[in-house]
Structure 1
């Protein structure tokens, strides 16, 4: 049984609709539909979905254990050591104004950071246009397989080759609206056909986590 099958089963048993579940955890009905139909298997809202439906998170994600969550919210459960791992650094983002950046693909290495997304990667930030949220020399972690929600920071790649790090404000009526991480810059609106890809920014990581290729 897949994650999609378990989610569909739990929703049927609990009597919860796609619209109700999406509204309760702050995502669109389309996002819930994609999870239920196996269009995606990675979403940062799975914890909130399991909590809302009162099902076991491990069961929902992997099928381990029983469906029902018998733990009380004030209980503390030992879940083991933090997972080890590293992800590839694909380059250096040389920041310009308003969250836009130019890529330097000569910079590489790996970042000591665990991600469940097999396609996760990191970019090193160079420049202070997103200070104090993101400082020069820090890394942003991108998880392409996670569907971003309103309020999430995202990497936006446009069809004309531009790259930006923004905050997703909304996506409706074939239009995206983004706000700048640096509040000195105004929001921007882009039509869907101008956008090549939007990827979830999952973390900002200090430079001490960087592993030079010679250290790997």
Structure 2
């Protein structure tokens, strides 16, 4: 039954369960009661920081509001020492900077919950492709923090002039012609290495956590 509800219906039900008016809920998250009304009437949908604030006040997870998953974990508050990290696309990651936060992400958002100490600009990325096999399989998820400067051997997300970001291993190559040169290498030898003295590369962030998911056969 919960999954058949709309986003607005779930917001209204949780609000009424907590005996909150639209005006009081709005004031708690810095919005007007009419904004809550528009959510509940499915005229607009919460996203970004508003979605996080709404889930906190309704004492449920953002996933519950967006998708109606009715597991117990989705209707409980996150632990005090945990935070939610937005899962973004490779295209979004390509435009990501250290100044970006969850409010930079439009539309529906999926999240990972973690108790890591991360900057406000941290994000998660679902691995696609085979360039990082065997350590990183397609469908695995990595958490990236743009505030962490990579050291040799770290895995990073970077932009190399293409529309999408890339995920590779970071290897500094020293100073060449007065510039610090590094290369980004795949773990799969079938894919090419990219060098910063041959292609303009911008490091977006450093991997902080790798979540590997077992596949069913």
TM score, norm. by length of structure 2: 0.45
Larger strand share, 1 or 2: 1
Structure of larger gyration radius: 2
